Amino acid sequence: MSGQQEVMGERMIKFKGVSINSGRIAGAACLYSAERHRAVPEFLLSNEDLVAEELLKFDEVLRQCSEELDAIAAQVETSVGRAESEIFITQKHIMNDPKVTDAVRAMVKNEKKNIEWAVSDVLNEYEYTFAKIDNQYLSERANDIGEIRRRLLGRITKAKSGLLCEGQAHCSRGANRIIAAYELTADMVAAMNLEKVLGFVTEHGGVTSHAAIIARSLGVPAVSGIRGIMEFVRCGDTIIIDGDNGEAYLNPDAATVAALIPVEPVASEAVCALGTPPGMTLLANASTMEDVKQAAAMGADGIGLLRTEILFIKAERLLDEDEQYAFYRRIVDIMKGKTVTFRMLDVGGDKPLSFLRIKKEENPYLGWRGARYLLGNPDIFTTQMRALVRVSGETPIRVLFPMVVDAEQQRALLDLADKVIAEKGSSRERIEFGTMFEVPSAFIDAEAILPQVDFASIGSNDLIQYLFAIDRNNEMVSQDFNPEHPVLWKMLERLSTVAREKGKPLSICGEMAAREGMQRPLLDIGISILSVAPRLIPRVRNEMARYAGLLS
Ligand code: PEP
Ligand code: MG
């Protein structure tokens, strides 16, 4: 077995991969294959009648696939959202592009090749060409071309991709199951009963692929890069997906299930009713509207981190002021007067907005990202701030600046914000501005940064990355990504002291706020505002209640 897999006990195998979406879940596996038509036959058409037949077949298949894509788009629009549904409309356009269809027809007519070979050859060539392009947006279109090829071939050869257990009596078509697949393709996600899938575990597939974005917007845990999983897993096997650590466990033993998937439903309901203990605040991190709804349902005290960049990533374009306003407004409405903290667009690093055509960077984590990107793109900043200022005219809100490196940069961001407030004839009173402490230099400059802002939040995911020079997304080094490191805790404690001295509320919104065993030490050092994924609220609230002596 490779270093990616570890046999533990009699049947359990632990796999190491890459997290596509966080969260943990245990469930039975359902296998999906998009690989059934790998071997494409190649033969020569011996007369013109056969050529004409193949061309007719192609027209018919194009029509059927176009209809199929329209139907999927409509289904996805209802079950996920409009932005995601556009993936399939784009695929329809690429599929019907005359450059593509003429090339296929020419191969059949001139070279007398059979239609499946022509489709495969032409689309393979396009996929390869796009994948090589040194531009993330265009290279990701290779995924779409691959999906179009599979769809067309599936129709021609009548060997559609699908669930491997399809037709068997126990097949639930993915409902309440964990889907194991070679690759998470957008059409595969669309073909399932999306609301019911528990999670995804795949051998291949990038963090920024469309399918990964859909998995994130569905809010289900997903891990990719699990090499060999399809070889080992059988339909109905139990799998744990640990999306927080990019790991999966096949046939886990009872102790592993109990350790990774704690069940405390009764206590959490009781504590939900009690609310967060006095003197503490429990906020939610949200990336999608679903997250916001879940946060409200879980009784979060507010939204501590609204990752606005996900809105843009999902839409695959920049949104104008009105569109942003409508979205932010809905969030505020759902939260019914509770605090909502909108983080300004935090792009770069692991969150490239491919449509912005940012030049490929050697070192994206140290490149044009966060606050640096906002200051370099005042138009984008200003449009977003205008939308936020409009919302603040109706309800007070909080706005958070990402990846701030020092007091000077903080000042520049606030100056830009002030210009928008003045232009809109609004007032600073309506917005509380905050800074994220996630770059080590900001911790050193905390005495100068804090007086400028109304509140602060610790982004421990990036902080650990930059403090220990360790990639937060690289599974090879994940064992050293250590939120318990004493150096980190020295920094947290020092910041907590400075924040108290300056009278500024300090929260923590990185993943460690929800990690088991972390709430007590955080509360001990005076960090009593925690912001965590919505579904983790009951567990974290219980821990806070135990700390306050309200729960045994
Ligand atoms: C963080 O860095 O800890 C954080 C909360 O922000 P993000 O994970 O979005 O970078
Ligand atoms: Mg961050």
- Quick one: CATH architecture of 4-34+162-260? 3-Layer(bba) Sandwich (3.50)
- Most distant CA pair in the chain, distance: 87
For 376, phi then psi, to 5°, come to: -80, -10
Choice among 30, 65, 165, 509 that is catalytic? 509
CB atoms within 10 A of CB 105: 19
Q: What residues does the ion ligand 2 have nearby, CB within 5 Å?
A: 438, 459, 462
For 517, phi then psi, to 5°, come to: 85, 0
Decide if 272 is catalytic. no
Which of 405, 361, 356 lies closest to 377, judged by CA? 356
**Which ligand 1 atom minimizes the distance to the CA of 457?**
5
Pocket test for ligand 1, best of 308, 342, 437, 438 (most atoms within 8 A of CB): 438
Contact criterion met (CB below 8 Å) for 360 and 134: yes
Mean pLDDT by 10 residues, the chain (552 residues): 61 86 85 62 88 95 92 80 83 94 96 93 89 76 84 76 57 74 68 75 69 70 84 83 89 84 50 78 90 91 94 82 96 95 88 67 87 95 98 96 98 98 93 98 98 97 93 71 94 98 97 91 97 88 92 80
Residue 209 pLDDT: 60
Contact criterion met (CB below 8 Å) for 135 and 360: yes
24 lines ligand 1 (CB under 6 A): no
Residue 38 pLDDT: 54
**Positive or negative CA dihedral for 84, 86, 92, 98?**
negative
H helices present in 298-439, as ranges: 309-315, 321-334, 370-376, 378-394, 407-423
Residue 507 pLDDT: 98
Residue 265 pLDDT: 44
Burial 312-326 (b: 16+ CB within 10 A, else e): bbbbbebbebeebbe
Q: Return the domain boundaries, the chain.
A: 4-34+162-260, 48-157, 269-547
Quickly tell me which residue has 């409200």 as its tokens: 296
**Positive or negative CA dihedral for 37, 215, 344, 504?**
negative
CA–centroid distance, residue 405 to ligand 1 (Å):
15
Rounded Cα–Cα distance for residues 525 and 493 (Å) = 6
- Quick one: CATH architecture of 269-547? Alpha-Beta Barrel (3.20)
Beta bridge mates, 531: 283
Judging by DSSP bridges, how do beta strands 247-250 and 238-242 pair with one another? Answer: antiparallel
Reported as type and span, the H/E element at residue 211 is helix 210-218
pLDDT tens per residue, range 517-534: 999 999 999 999 999 988
Residue 2 pLDDT: 41
Residue 465, token pair as written in the block: 């990355």
CA–centroid distance, residue 436 to ligand 2 (Å):
8
pLDDT tens per residue, range 243-279: 888 899 998 888 888 888 765 443 444 445 568 999 9
CA–centroid distance, residue 437 to ligand 1 (Å):
10
Put residue 20 in one of left, alpha, beta given phi > 0 → left and psi -120 to 50 → alpha: alpha
- Compute the CA torsion angle 321, 326, 331, 333 (nearest 10 deg): 130
Whether the domain at 48-157 and the domain at 269-547 fall into the same CATH topology: no
CA–centroid distance, residue 307 to ligand 2 (Å):
10
460 lines ligand 1 (CB under 6 A): yes
Identify the nearest ligand to the CA of 507 by its number: 1
509 lines ligand 1 (CB under 6 A): yes
Rounded Cα–Cα distance for residues 522 and 534 (Å) = 19
- Quick one: CATH architecture of 48-157? Orthogonal Bundle (1.10)
CB atoms within 10 A of CB 47: 9
Decide if 93 is catalytic. no
Reported as type and span, the H/E element at residue 240 is strand 238-242
- Using CB atoms within 10 Å of the CB of residue 1, give its burial: 0 to 12 exposed, 13 to 18 middle, 19+ buried: exposed
Residue 395 pLDDT: 94
459 lines ligand 1 (CB under 6 A): yes
Q: How far is CA 29 from CA 63, 261, 324, in A?
A: 34, 17, 39
**Which ligand 1 atom minimizes the distance to the CA of 509?**
5
Cα-trace Rg, the chain: 25
